[in-house]
Amino acid sequence: RLMEMKKLLRGYGIRNFDMFNDRNIMWLIKFILKQDLSSSLDDALKVVHAYKLTPVEVYFLHTIHLIPNNKTDECLSLLKSVALKEVETTVMRLSTWAQLTIENHPDDPEWQKQLMPVAKTMLEIMKSLQRNQKDNTLQREEIESILNTFETIAIFQEYFERFISLKDCENPKMLLQLYDEQVQVFARTNSNSKKDGGHNGGSSTNVWIPGEMKLYKLSLLFQNSEQDVVSELALRSLDDGSVETTVMICSELYEDHKNNQTGQVLFRVAQKMCQMLEANVPMIIPTGMNLPAVIYELACQAVTICSTDLLLDCEELCKSTCAALDVYRQCLVDDYGFKTKVSSLETDKDPYDTWTFGDFFTEDGIVLDHVSVMPVMYEITNAFVPFSSDVKLHPLDCLCLAMSPDVEGQNPLMPIYTPITNLLQNLQEYSQLQLALQLTINSFGICHQHLISNTMNSELSRKGQGLQEVKDFVIGVGNMAFSIVQKISQALLHKLFNCRVVDTDLALGYCTLLSKQIVFEKLWNIINDAWQNYNKILAVAIVGAQLADLLQEEEQKQKFNAVVVDTEWGLKLSKLGILFQSTFRDNPAKKKECVLILVQNPNVDSKLIMQYCRAFGLNSDAALQLYIETLLLRGTNGHLGGGEPCDVKQSQATLLEKAIEVMPLLNNKTDLVISLSGALHQMDPYNYEVIESALKVIKLSNETTINYNLDQALSLLQHLYSYKRISPPGDFEHQFLQKHAIDLSPMAQSRLPFHLLFFENTQRFWNVISAELSEENFATLLLISKLMKVSLDTLYMKAVDRVLAKALKPKLLKLAKEGSVSSITKEISETVHNIQSYLLAITNPEWATACSHRVAQELPTGPNKIQALKFCLQMAENWLKATAPTDKAHQKAENTLNKLRIVYENSATENLLRIHNLNCPEYLRLIKLPAQLICLLYEHSSIEDRLKHPTARDYPDIHGAASELAEINNRDINNIRYALLEKYLCPPTHLDLDKESPEIFNNVQEDLALMRAVYVLQIYPVDHSAKLLLAVATSPSSPFGGAQMTFAHRSRALRCLLHIADSETIASVSQRSISQIKCYLKCCIYLAEFEILNIPHTIESFQNSPKEGMIKGLWKNHNHEPRAVRLITELSLEYRVYDPQLWNGILQKLLAFNMTDYLSKVLEAVTAVLSLWQIPNFTRAWRSVILAPFLSASCPPSPKQLKDCYESFLLVIKCPVVPDLDLIGIAKQYVQLQLSAFALGCLLLIPSAEKKKQQIQGFLLSVDSVTLLQQVVDHMTTGEVAGYASKIKELALGSIADKKHYEMLIGSKYFPFLKQYMIDNNRVKELVNYLVNRSCLNEAISVVTDYLKHEGRPIKSNISLEYLKEFLDEQTE
């Protein structure tokens, strides 16, 4: 154990401790506990047990260490874990320690803060010990005494910050003084503390404690109830003028403690407030507080919870404060609050709203001055319920004047006379009659009740003179009150009946206050003076009837009831806009005059009419008939409903429904049908609704007296409903309206007149229908016509004329103005189709033909006219088929058909030419000769253009036009085309030997006749055309007409064949290879020329003869003929006969015959033959063809001359003997024509390099480089000269760069060429430097960007001037 103790002490840092010295043990225990470790208590107990000491000392020391630190829970936990005996000893020692500590405390605030937990913790410890003391009564009383002491000290410390000693705690005077101080402080500062958020600024503690809590704690010390404290607080707050505090205290008390004592407190507070208001004591009333209402509420709360002894006083106080509140409401106050009444349906009425916003009377009076009125009112209140704080009441005693006992020698009623009299006079002056009546009756009632309560016992009634004085006083007050009540009642009745809504119950009550004679006279005077104020009269009459019933006056009751009936009808009719003044309170005979006005009102129904007739004894059948007629005719002329608002009109369907509902109520319907039939002819013919309503009512009556078909009329109306008029009313309609005195209705602009269609003759019917005929309306008008059983052929013919004039012709004229005669829109097609449908529906064929011909004549020239003429032919054919050959009409129909056919063919031909843009006078003259016209069409100039330029557009369709012309005129188009082919392929041979006859050797596009033949053949399939041409080429005679075929004809056919068909097709059709066909063509071409030269040859002889000998023989005999010279040239080229002597002669002859174009082709062909370069005429021939364009060219050259110059430059490039040419001379020729680019191109061909350089430099100095560039771009960028163009462009750009003439190209389309040239020649720096110096930054940036791209270097997104300068510096390095 010794070792355990040493180990324990080492944990606290103690090593040299004398374990055997008992005097040091207590020091050791205190040291361990002072360390305040979690194990300190257990270690201290181990030391105590080791030395066998009592543990109470440890518990005591540890507890007094915890208490100052406010560790109450740990103290309680420690004591709960200890045995009861040890707890009692420890607690008693703690009590002694705490009392000594509290008794000897200094006045230091810091020490006081440490002292507060002592009493509080000791209080909890003593409570815990008290709960454990159950059997030891003596010790329990001792503990309770100590507990009360610590509780008192703790309350003073916590709630009042008073650190009292034990002696002060036992002094009752000191405690009572503190209680009074707290009550006064709370009453003065409670409202301010509420405004400041409830915090006490002077408190030295961290926790704010409410003043109510302080008072409750003090009251507990004195064993007072909470109601006592609240009562005293409320009265003291009221003495200080703090109304809000008082009301708040009373409200909280009423909510928390609803008992008799609380009721007494509320009663006393209400009395106190009334007394203060009477005396005008200054009070602090919060903004918006209604103090009289607050007093009344306090009184009402008091009467609900007070004792039975105080009940009568509280009830009287309630009545008096309620009267005061009523007076206050009529005073001039700041709060003008009001309630609004929200109207609701009868089924949704709220009972509370019904009571709150009922038709109660609210008197209009002058606003009272509350400063002068309210003190008097509360003086009366205090007189009725006197305030007495010192009088002790016995059971069943009352303070109120009504129940208070008399005092000998005194009249307790006298004090109320003066204030009541003054207030009554004031109220009457301000016209507050209800308040005056209420005060009069209430005051007299209290006086009378006081007298009765003191004279109920016979012994009391025999008391002396004082009681008699009271009795006389009450009688005098009663007489005065009776007079005032009579006067005020009449005035209030006058006010009541002048209100917008009369409170009849209240009026009846006021009437009972008056005598019978006076009140009836008053009521009749009001009725007589009310004039037409039916509401006022009704209210007075109802009150009079009720009063007469109460008073059992039957005569008066009947009179008032009669007035009630008249007034009720006056109200009903006035709401309908009907004046009832003339018949009000008059005999029933005049009531009949009102029926006419009644039935015309749109808001009147049959039920009301029946009620009216029953009420006044009128004939209901006549009234209902008049009502039905008015319903049906309402809205027509002369039948406008009286009193009907302009913006509220009932539909005719509703009116008809009403009329049908009324009809079963009629006993006799004949008069109604007769009346409606007569009125039908006078109705507005455009008002279908009224007409239909009348017809339906007549039909429902089942009367047989009418002479027209009702079903037909109703069906016509149904058609008219769905129809909208398109034409204005005609003159015949105006005449009809004038005849029947009917005004023109706005509906006439959209509706047809019913009467003119149904009741008038057929001519009037067609007058109306003709103007309405259109494509859209025809279906409806057809139904109407069928319904009215008129001639449908007439309808169709009128429809054709109308649609043609109003629809088709305007549309066609509009298209003609727009230049779109040939186009047919969808709308026009529909119109034409409709017209044709009308024509086909006509049953008379002659009418149909004539009508269709009239339509065709009216149409302008165009496709629609042609379609119409074609339709005429169809109608004429139908007419012809409908007649027998023996009929007279048959010949007429046949003649008409022939004439129409001629007209159709001519018109169709003319229209066709216009459609194909072929309507020139040359073609129009041949309209009546269709075959010649077709042949002439195939010679149109567009045929040559379309074969040369097949991709071009806007060529007329000759094939289509020819085919349509043949179809229109019944001609065989194939025969015409075959005749044309024979004409084009087999023309007659003209033996003109002096001409070169190029058509033999030229291709198809150079022979106009062959191009026309090719175009004719394009209409047929390729294989058919190929067979046809092969037949021409191989047959001895023509397949078209039998004429003899020559080799020229065969060659023409073969050339067409090779042009239109591919090799496969030719081989398939001819069963020969394409090479054989071409060889055959070649032979035919040459043999054709031999035929012209009259040299007989066959295919075999030509193929077998030696060609060189044949050529030389021809040259020998025919070299003087241009045609023969060309044949010799072609044969020499074809069979490669290049004899120099022969060719020298050929070139000489070609030059002599001036065959320059052909000579250029020949020279190009023999360029590869080197043996011919040395012949004398070879160089001469080249020079001649090169210089030929310059002989006729002028400056500036025309497009054709420019083309010839270009071809000449090509010949210079191709010329094999360039050194022999005068290139400088040729260049000068180009310069004269201002074609400097071609001139420079010629200089580039100079063989001598030195001479070429010299000439080029001189040339560049003399020409404009920009013009040079422009000509290169315009004329030399493509074709065989493109290579020379790049050289010329480089020379021009180099010249500009050398001269530093960059400004010539900056901003032009040639600047990119300059930029690329400078980059390619590494001269970027020069250009960039020039551009930067000229501030052409954008161009400089472009050059640098392209250069960087060319070099493959990165490019900046934003290149600035600084970067350009860096670039120039970099190029310098």
For residue range 688-738, list pLDDT tens digits in order. Answer: 888 888 888 888 888 777 777 888 888 988 988 888 888 888 888 888 888
Q: Which of 1301, 1299, 1334, 1296 is nearest to 1317 (CA)?
A: 1296
Q: Which of 69-83, 335-349, 776-790 has the lowest mean pLDDT?
A: 335-349
Report which listed range, 117-126, 233-242, 966-975, is most confident: 966-975
CB 820 within 8 A of CB 814: no
Residue 202: predicted pLDDT: 38
The average pLDDT across 1294-1318 equals 81
Give the orientation angle of helix 1047-1060 with respect to helix 973-985, to 10 degrees: 120
pLDDT confidence of 346, banded at 50, 70, 90? very low
51: which 2 tokens? 């030395």
pLDDT confidence of 1204, banded at 50, 70, 90? confident
Residue 297: predicted pLDDT: 94
Residue 338: predicted pLDDT: 40
pLDDT confidence of 195, banded at 50, 70, 90? very low
Q: Which of 137-151, 158-172, 1050-1064 has the lowest mean pLDDT?
A: 158-172
**Beta bridge mates, 331:** 368
Q: What angle do CA 1037, 1038, 1043 make, to 5 degrees?
A: 70
Residue 292: predicted pLDDT: 93
Question: What span, in angstroms and rounded, lies between the C-alpha atoms of 812 and 805?
Answer: 11
Residue 37: predicted pLDDT: 76
Residue 640: predicted pLDDT: 40
Residue 614: predicted pLDDT: 80
Residue 304: predicted pLDDT: 92
Residue 301: predicted pLDDT: 92
Residue 203: predicted pLDDT: 37
349: which 2 tokens? 């009425």
Residue 53: predicted pLDDT: 73
Q: What angle do CA 697, 698, 704 make, to 5 degrees?
A: 155
Report which listed range, 230-234, 467-471, 653-657, is most confident: 653-657
Residue 176: predicted pLDDT: 63
The average pLDDT across 611-623 equals 79
> Is the pLDDT at 501 greater than 70, yes or no?
yes
Q: Between 21 and 1021, where is the model more confident?
A: 1021
Q: Between 22 and 247, where is the model more confident?
A: 247
Q: Which of 235-249, 408-422, 1014-1028, 1134-1148 has the lowest mean pLDDT?
A: 408-422
Measure Cα distances from 1210 to 631, 1133, 1215, 1222 in Å: 106, 22, 9, 16
Question: What span, in angstroms and rounded, lies between the C-alpha atoms of 699 and 501?
Answer: 51
Residue 427: predicted pLDDT: 84
The average pLDDT across 750-754 equals 89
Measure Cα distances from 584 to 558, 568, 581 in Å: 16, 10, 5
Residue 200: predicted pLDDT: 41
pLDDT over 70, % of the chain: 84
> Is the pLDDT at 948 greater than 90, yes or no?
no
Sign of the torsion angle spanned by Cα atoms 1310, 1316, 1320, 1321: positive
Other C-beta atoms closer than 10 Å to the C-beta of 623 total 19
Residue 393: predicted pLDDT: 66
Residue 589: predicted pLDDT: 63
pLDDT confidence of 299, banded at 50, 70, 90? very high
Q: Which of 80, 78, 83 is nearest to 59 (CA)?
A: 78
> Is the pLDDT at 375 greater than 80, yes or no?
yes
Residue 345: predicted pLDDT: 41
Question: What span, in angstroms and rounded, lies between the C-alpha atoms of 625 and 636?
Answer: 18
pLDDT 10s digits, 392-446? 666 666 878 777 776 666 677 788 888 888 888 888 888 888 888 888 888 888 8
Other C-beta atoms closer than 10 Å to the C-beta of 565 total 12
Q: Between 585 and 676, where is the model more confident?
A: 676
The per-residue pLDDT of the chain, averaged, comes to 78
> Is the pLDDT at 1115 greater than 50, yes or no?
yes
pLDDT confidence of 298, banded at 50, 70, 90? very high
pLDDT confidence of 294, banded at 50, 70, 90? very high
Question: What span, in angstroms and rounded, lies between the C-alpha atoms of 416 and 419?
Answer: 6
Give the SS3 label for residue 693. Answer: helix
As to burial, measured by CB atoms within 10 angstroms (0-12 exposed, 13-18 middle, 19+ buried), residue 1207 is middle
pLDDT 10s digits, 446-468? 888 777 877 776 554 445 555 77
Q: Between 947 and 738, where is the model more confident?
A: 738
The average pLDDT across 1173-1177 equals 87
The average pLDDT across 1107-1116 equals 84
549: which 2 tokens? 């019933």
Residue 341: predicted pLDDT: 42
- Helices and strands (DSSP H and E) totals, the chain: 69, 0
Question: What span, in angstroms and rounded, lies between the C-alpha atoms of 321 and 1238?
Answer: 130
pLDDT 10s digits, 140-158? 777 777 777 777 777 766 6
CB 1032 within 8 A of CB 986: yes
> Is the pLDDT at 833 greater than 50, yes or no?
yes
Question: What span, in angstroms and rounded, lies between the C-alpha atoms of 1029 and 985?
Answer: 9
Question: What span, in angstroms and rounded, lies between the C-alpha atoms of 457 and 474?
Answer: 18
